[in-house]
A and B are shown apart, each in its own frame.
Chain A
Amino acid sequence: MCLALPAEIVSIDNSRETAIVALGPVKKEISIALLDEVSVGDFVLVHVGFALHRLSPEEADRTLALMREAGENPEKEFAEGDAP
């Protein structure tokens, strides 16, 4: 039901409109084509390989903590998701 995971932008390739994002130890490339301005260090909500929105570090922490408390493993989820 429309779950999206928060991740931190660690590098940006403006020519390809992609970014490497990290969730814990897991890194992957996603599209940033939907967002106007993103910077390294921003947190974004990732869904099917696209960054959908920026969110604050506090919101990202809160969401991930909630998933972990519920016994979920967001890092594993992130690693298994498809590229755009």
Chain B
Amino acid sequence: MTIAGRLDIDLTCRSGSSASARIASSRPRGVTRMFHGRRPAEVANLVPLVFGVCGMAQGAAAATACERALGIATSSETRRMRDSLLLAETAREHLLRVAMDWPRCMALATDPATLRQVMGLDQRFRQAMAGSGTVFEPGGVVRCDVAAIESAVADLGDLLETVVFGEPPDTWLARSTLADLGDWAHAGRLPAQLLLQRTLRSAALQIGSVSIDAVPDIDDVDLASMLFGENAEQFIALPTWEGRPRETTALSRQARHPLIQALGDGREHGIGARLVARLVELAGLPDRMTDLGEAGSLGSEGDETVDACGDGIGIARSEAARGRLIHGVEIQRGLVKRYLIVAPTEWNFHPEGAAARALAQIAGSGRSDARGLADLMITAFDPCVEYSLAVH
């Protein structure tokens, strides 16, 4: 076992019910014990360093969880900065999937200049957060460079038009039917258009269809009882809610968009909906970031009671690119006593969860391109660790 762990995914392709998809995770338990015995401010600043892939989502959840455990209110400006960083990170991660992973799934070369543009824009957002060194300090008060953020948001819109949509993101987002989507896919040769063309051509839109059973809005007190209760280890490694594995992905977040509804068959959604959900989320990010600047906060964490759990326990969530991230901390005598994280990969790649069911459906489809579709499906779910795929 390694610190980061990995997913080993094994597909047995057969017709009908003997097809299967097995997911084995070597994701370690208890990595967060490295934070035990440390001061909350130190932990909140270490979390984004250690979990650097989605460091902003992790940092925001860590800082908020510590604030709640300590009963400290978060200033609206600080919350806005954390939310801005979170959305910028979501844009970067979605863009990397579209510009780097999607071409790989089509055996096409990636464009290094595009990848660097994506990373460069992410860096600009970070630099615009003047004093961002303290943005994850519990109770920290920070100021951002509003003009620099507005300029970066405008450039994000331009980048999306150039490398993803071939038209302004707002225009793309107004598309609402399968015919609209097909017109767009066939209107150009950007990676997202090519992938949709191929998916349409191979009649694969509905492949891997499963119903969306989203992680609900779980009350802080209920979450605390799971994270700090007797079965905490089980919940963190193999989370379920009300006895069922749940999903937390771009698809579960964007399920109400007309394009996603058009792509679904009732509550069932296949690979097409998962690919398009990422695009829907991506297209909406510039406006969400602008709204954030005007409204002051995403409102995702709201103004709920800061110490809802009491007893030095704080719970926080971040809607990270890959899904909802949950942090729980217990602080006693000014030091972190317990620190726990439930990452979206644990929900989505639960052995009986959404990814496993979607992959089993592919395994039983009888299609000759099952391996490629499985790889694309895994990329659509987007685990935050390495994975291997074996197809028999």
Which residues of A pack against B, CB within 8 Å?
A: 1-5, 17, 33-36, 45, 47-48, 52-53, 55, 59, 62-63, 66-67, 69-70, 72, 74, 76-77, 80-82
Contacts and interface: CB of A to CB of B under 8 A. Distances in A.
Contacts of A5: 3-4
The B contact surface, by secondary structure, is helix
Q: How large is the interface on B (under 10, 10 to 19, 20 to 34, 35 or more residues)?
A: 20 to 34
Contacts of A66: 34, 46, 50
B335 interface: no
Given A3-B3, A3-B53, 8 more contacts: A1-B343, A2-B53, A3-B385, A5-B4, A33-B116, A67-B50, A77-B4, A81-B2
A36 B49 CA distance: 20
Contacts of B2: 76-77, 80-81
Contacts of A47: 52-53
A60 B362 CA distance: 42
B302 interface: no
22 contacts: A1-B27, A1-B51, A1-B384, A2-B54, A2-B384, A3-B52, A3-B53, A4-B53, A17-B112, A33-B116, A34-B96, A34-B115, A36-B119, A36-B120, A48-B385, A52-B52, A62-B46, A63-B50, A67-B34, A69-B34, A70-B31, A77-B3
B49 A48 contact: no
Interface string B330-347: 000000000001010100
B34 A82 contact: no
Given A1-B341, A47-B53, A72 B119 contact: no
A72 B116 contact: no
A33 B33 CA distance: 33
A70 B115 contact: no
A25 B90 CA distance: 34
Interface in B18-33: 27, 31, 33
Given A34-B115, A34-B119, A81 B52 contact: no
Contacts of B193: none
A74 B50 contact: no
A29 to B, nearest CB: 16
Nearest to B341: A1
Given A1-B343, A2-B384, A81 B50 contact: no
Nearest to B27: A1
Given A36-B120, A77-B2, A80-B2, A53 B34 contact: no
B328 to A, nearest CB: 13
B110 interface: yes
Contacts, number: 85
B33 A62 contact: no
Contacts of B49: 55, 59, 62-63
Contact of A35 (B50, B119, B345): B119
B132 interface: no
B58 interface: yes
A33 B54 contact: no
A32 to B, nearest CB: 10
Nearest to A51: B119
Interface string B128-155: 0000000000000000000000000000
> Which of A2, A3, A4, A5 has the most B CB atoms < 10 Å from its CB?
A2
Contact of A33 (B110, B341, B385): B110
A67 B96 CA distance: 28
Nearest to B122: A53
B4 A3 contact: yes
Contacts of A17: 112
Nearest to A63: B49
Contacts of B230: none
B31 A1 contact: yes
B3 A74 contact: yes
Interface string B316-354: 000000000100000000000000010101000000000
Contacts of A55: 49
A53 B52 CA distance: 9
B219 interface: no
Contacts of B33: 70
